[in-house]
Structure 1
Amino acid sequence: MVAATAPSEEDLPPDVIEPVVIGPTWRRGPDGRFVLPEFSLGWHVLSWTAEYLQHSAGTPWRYTPEQARFTLWYYAVSPETNRFLYRDAVFQRLKGHGKDPLAATYAAVEFVGPCRPSGRVAGPNDPSGVPEGQPLGQPHPEPWVMLAAVTQSQTRNTMMVFPGLFSPRAIEEYSIDLGKEVIYAHKGRARIEAVTSSPRALEGSRASWSLINEPHHWLATNGGHEMAAVIERNATKSADGSARTLAITNAYEPGENSVAERTREAWEDAQAGRAVDTGLLYDSLEAPPGAKLTAAWAPKVIEAVRGDATWLDIDRIVASILDVRNPPSRSRRFWYNQIVAAEDAWCAPYEWDACARPDLTLSDGDEVVLFLDCSKSDDATGLVACRMADGHVSTLGVWQRPPQVDVWNVPREDVDGVVDNAFNRFRVLAFFADPGTGEDQVDGSRYWDRFIDAWAERYGARLLVHATTTGTRRHAVEWDMGGDRRRQEEFTHAVERAEVDILERQLTHDGHKIMRTHVRNARRRTNAFGITIGKEHRASPRKIDLAVCMIGARMLRRLVINSSKYGKRPRARGKGRVIVLG
């Protein structure tokens, strides 16, 4: 029995906790029913596994509804091309969900089952049990199923499933020879093999299907990065082009740069439009951002994120969560299936997500402030607005080098157009732009000087607060942090204030995916004035520029509110009408 004090009303969870749903398995349509793929070989997989596989007790294999839906999506096929919709997949769930047995059934299907589209479809009352019109499968002609991990203990969990998984009928019909590290069928023509060897030894293998087991443990230091790269190359050059992978994982430890972390970031980049979608199916069920690790919250959270894994003992898990010997970050990763922050991260992803209010949008005529963080090529350039009325943060634009492009400069004219549009739409009370350090190749001036000067000339008279009001270079817009200790101190205090606002839910934002990534990438850095933010290292490709813009815009809003001119400003009369004093 775990003793706990009675929670206050503020700490009580809602009656129903909705998990964060990533991927199609738990997605519902407007009618409330689960969304299923139009055309899937998964129907044949469901039928075959029920006939040839079994649970340890000897009963015919049955997937949970959650597993069945994921199976249908993983084996979804394009009716036009007769090829799989997804090249690879990640199945991320909390610890104990049953990921290894699920993966073992797919390995069995890829080993001797109907794992490739045959080009035929099921007819009425088809003897295969497949619904009419759905694709029928056929075995791979030369199946080589590879169960890959960086340690033997990882592959052992999956290999131990097979002796009890294949039914006596399957063993006899397919001539299956159950070995400890290699399983053969069809007199050696088909095999399942557990591999933990050097990546070089895997180079050139012709695996028809690969399981990437626990990629949150696959690091550069243990050969995990190179092993993942070799598996991807081998799958790409497969003879029929249909070799695929499945990764099963818990939530990874941020900052380790594991294969799981790299894969999740690649998927998020594709979702945000920063990278091409190459056919990765990512499926995860995670605790909502505001979920607490308390006796009141934990049972409902576990019930929400365990999906159909009803065999998990909720009381036992709650006791583990409340055990002070277990770090909260570990409980969130293992039991809430949440990706927590790296040790030196400025903001945990779930804390940032809890502040998202995509329903709050900027309207024409809103009073806002703008902050622009400029770069020439290496870093991103971002423009963020902060509404004066409520401090809501919105991303107006972000420009960063596209993937696989070596030579690229930020298109200044595009940025200029977005700035003009912002001034046309909103009542901009202040606009700060940090020019960065890049040079213009034509005249040797700073890359952004000409545009920042033009904005000051064009809009300076409208602004209540100017960026630089002392010294030899007074400027309405230019706010250069480089080398200016006073501004570094000002920004450092803004960083600390923004962190408090996020933790206390006093900040809202539009949920922009790239800003989320930049906030996640920001690391805590100490300077002479306190805690500021920076990249993980100077040459890191992980950008933080929109995080800088967000903090800068919130800082600028406070400067305007505290200025003597704010209370004397002209007010707009009528929706969208802007009064500008000449």
Structure 2
Amino acid sequence: MQIAATSMDQTRNTMTVFPGLFSEEAKEKYGIDVGKEIIYSAVGNRIEAVTSSASALEGGRATFNLLNETQHWLEAGGGHRMAMTIAGNLAKSRGGGARSMEITNAPLPGEDSVAERTYHAWSKLRDKGSDTPRRAGVYYDSVEAPASVVLADRDSLEAGIKAARGDATWLDLDWIISTIYAGTYPAYQSRRMFLNQLVTDEDSLISPVAWDACAADEMLRKGDRITLGFDGGSTDDATALVAMRMSDRLVQPIGIWEAPDGPSGEGWEVPRDQVIDAVHNTFATYDVVGFFADVALWESEVESWSEEYRTRLAVKASGRSTVGRDMRGGLPEITQANERLVAAIESGRIRHIGHHTLRRHVMNAKRKINRFGVSFTKEHRESKRKVDGYAAMLLADLARHNLVESGKLKRPRSGRVWGFGG
């Protein structure tokens, strides 16, 4: 068994627990020699502390690895390589059945720590179905405070700390609260360290706390009046079709298609037939009154949708097309739409169904300042962290906003009366 960390200091907290775990009877029966950094047994087994020399670890055949404080395992400190080496060693263990476990505080989004990578990998597995992580041999457990905790409200904060500490009842609530209120840590660090909440870094567009607080236990119903947003890719980029209900801005993805991780993702292409079918099925199921679609890589499909559905749509995406909206232009409008959407999320005026893939895309979106204000982008051009779900949601919200501002909601059109409600 190996207790792994990027420094020996990180392993010490865990290693110092072991001497107290072995009874005198266990020590005598198994010949356990409790040492400081290596614990031996008479039959040659051992528990040892290891650090970030991946080359020294390669080829080891531990049956269990404890990866300690993986929120600090960064590429610069050798953490990424160490995690990959341990995974390779476990796969080659004698007889199989080897396991690893990470123990970590909530990682800081954007640092690209091993803990953050593990969280994203688990999120993608979860997106495919609740049973997929189990079949993949992954178990994820996080005890964290509700997103609704208000730091300035002592009662709310105390309840959040109690929720996050679980059965660690020895933690001193008054001391933790006084530390938070003393300003020793910025708010995002207090939420991460004491409430175990995933919080945004300074460049992120939307806080996970703000997004999670908008979750609603509700889904779209057949016949609901909605707007649609579409952002399409081809191979590497994801493709997203997102609906927003006119009456209350409830957001629900119709579909988000992205390349799977691993070898199955090599040569992957967006299943265009599935996407096209999803668009037509959405128009058959709901009362779609606005549809804004980014034209990049999907020009012919967008043109076809515009021709087929223009008589049903109450607002045009652009001067040239009922559906097509080129996001590479119109920066002032997109920037204003982005600021409006972010403000609505932060104030709780957006609702969403808790879709895991959409949440991941929203969390991946970064702030991009231009001369008109704050727009959005992904962390860099070649980033694997997709934001297409956020872009589609933004277009759906822009379609809704333009329709509201147009004054057409209650105006008869083609035998219809536009208005809020069912």
Q: Compute the TM-score of the two structures, normalised by the length of structure 2.
A: 0.94
2:270 corresponds to 1:410:
yes
* Greater helix proportion: 2
Instruction: Give yes or no for the alignment of 1:453 onto 2:303.
Output: yes
Whole-Å Cα distance in 1 between the matches of residues 39 and 276 of structure 2? 63
The number of aligned residues is 412
Deviation at 1:302, TM superposition (A): 1.4
For the pair 1:279 / 2:150, whether they are aligned, the reply is no
Deviations, residues 91-127 of structure 1 (Å, cap 9, x unaligned) = xxxxxxxxxxxxxxxxxxxxxxxxxxxxxxxxxxxxx
C-alpha separation in 2, matches of 1:388 and 1:192: 59
Give the conservation status (yes or no) of the 8 Å contact 1:375–1:435. no
For the residues of structure 1 that align with 2:225 and 2:83, how far apart are their CA atoms? 50
Distance between the aligned counterparts of 2:343 and 2:204, measured in 1? 14
CA distance in 1, matches of 2:27, 2:408: 83
Query: d(CA) in 2 for partners of 1:340 and 1:374?
Result: 28
- Once the two structures are overlaid, the 10-residue window that deviates more, 545-554 or 163-172, is 163-172
Distance 2:318 2:157 in 1: 51
State how far apart, in whole Å, the 2-side matches of 1:373 and 1:497 are: 19
Cross-structure match for 2:379: 536
* Native 8 Å contact 2:145 2:197 kept in 1: yes
How many angstroms apart in 1 are the aligned matches of 2:327 and 2:129?
A: 28
Partner of residue 433, structure 1: 293
**Counterpart for residue 318 of structure 2:** 468
- What secondary structure sits across from 2:155 in the alignment? coil
Distance 2:322 2:195 in 1: 48
Distance in 2, matches of 1:345 and 1:414, equals: 31
Which blocks of at least 5 consecutive residues in structure 2 are unaligned? none
In 2, Cα distance between the equivalents of 1:558 and 1:297? 34
- Displacement of 1:492 in angstroms is 0.7
Q: What amino acid is aligned across from residue 455 of structure 1 in structure 2?
A: W
Provide the rounded CA distance (Å) in 1 between the counterparts of 2:19 and 2:268.
56
Residues 47-95 of structure 1, C-alpha deviation per residue, up to 9 Å, x if partnerless?
Answer: xxxxxxxxxxxxxxxxxxxxxxxxxxxxxxxxxxxxxxxxxxxxxxxxx
TM-score by length of structure 1 reads 0.68
Aligned-residue Cα RMSD (Å) equals 1.8
Q: How far is the alpha carbon of 1:279 from its aligned partner?
A: 1.0
Tell me the equivalent position of 1:374: 232
Letter in 2 for 1:571: V
Match of 1:213 among 44, 68, 76: 68
Question: Conserved in 2, the CA contact under 8 Å of 1:367 and 1:426?
Answer: yes
CA contact (8 A) 1:468 1:475 kept: yes
Tell me the residue number matched to 1:227.
82
Deviation at 1:477, TM superposition (A): 1.2
Task: For residue 141 of structure 2, give the secondary structure of its aligned residue in structure 1.
Answer: strand
**Are the aligned partners of 2:71 and 2:105 in contact in 1 as well (CA < 8 Å)?**
yes
Partner of 2:333: 490
Q: C-alpha displacement at 1:547, in angstroms?
A: 0.5
Once residues 272 and 129 of structure 2 are traced to their aligned partners in structure 1, the CA distance between those partners, rounded to angstroms, is: 19
| Cα contact 1:274–1:402 (8 A) shared by 2 | no
Q: Which has the larger radius of gyration?
A: 1
SS of 2:311's equivalent in the other structure is helix
SS at match of 2:195: coil
Q: 2:245 is matched with which residue? A: 387
In 2 relative to 1, CA 514–154 (structure 1 residues): closer, same or farther, beyond 3 Å?
Answer: same
One-letter amino acid of the structure 2 residue matched with residue 289 of structure 1: A
Q: Give the match for residue 198 of structure 2.
A: 339
1:307 is aligned to 166
Counting only pairs closer than 5 Å after superposition, residues 241-320 of structure 1 correspond to structure 2 as 241-273=96-128, 277=133, 278-294=136-152, 295-320=154-179
- Counterpart-to-counterpart distance in 2, 1:237 and 1:282: 23
Distance (whole Å) between structure 2 residues aligned to residue 233 and residue 176 of structure 1:
28
Q: Percent identity?
A: 45
- Judge which range, 190-199 or 266-275, deviates more: 266-275
Q: For residue 355 of structure 1, report the CA deviation from its aligned partner.
A: 0.3
| Separation of aligned partners in 2, 1:377 and 1:274 | 23
User: Secondary structure, in 3 states, of the residue corresponding to 2:103?
Assistant: strand
CA distance in 2, matches of 1:158, 1:374: 47
Following the alignment from structure 1 to structure 2, what is the Cα–Cα distance between the partners of residues 521 and 406?
22
Residue 356, structure 1, aligned to residue 199, structure 2 = no
- Cα distance in 2, alignment partners of residues 274 and 308 from structure 1: 30
Cα distance, 1:165 vs. partner?
A: 2.6
The AA in structure 1 aligned to 2:281 is N
Distance 1:203 1:566, change over 3 A: same
Partner of 2:42: 186
Deviation by residue 1:300-358 (Cα, 9 ceiling, x = unmatched): 11122211111111111111121123211111111101111122000111210110113
3-state SS in 1 of match to 2:139: strand
Specify the code of the residue in structure 2 equivalent to 1:426.
Y
For 1:202, the aligned partner's letter is L
Amino acid at match of 2:321: H
**Residue identity opposite 2:411 in structure 1:** K
2:421 pairs with 1:571: no
How far apart are residue 197 of structure 1 and its match?
Answer: 4.6
- Cα shift readout 1:460-508 (whole Å, capped 9, x = no counterpart): 1221111222xxxx222111122x2xx2211110110111111111111
Amino acid at match of 2:312: R
1:321 to 180, 195, 203: 180
Residue 559 in 1 paired to residue 402 in 2?
yes
Q: What per-residue deviation string (whole Å, max 9, x for no partner) do you get for residues 349-381 of structure 1?
A: 12101101132x222222211111122222111
TM-superposed deviation, 1:274: 8.7
For 1:397-456, what per-residue CA distance to the aligned partner results, in whole angstroms no more than 9, with x for missing partners? 1111222322122222221111111111222112111111x4xxxxxxxxx222112112
- 1:509-553 Cα deviation digits (max 9, x unpaired): 121111100000000011121101100000001000110111111
Matches within 5 A, 1:45-84: none
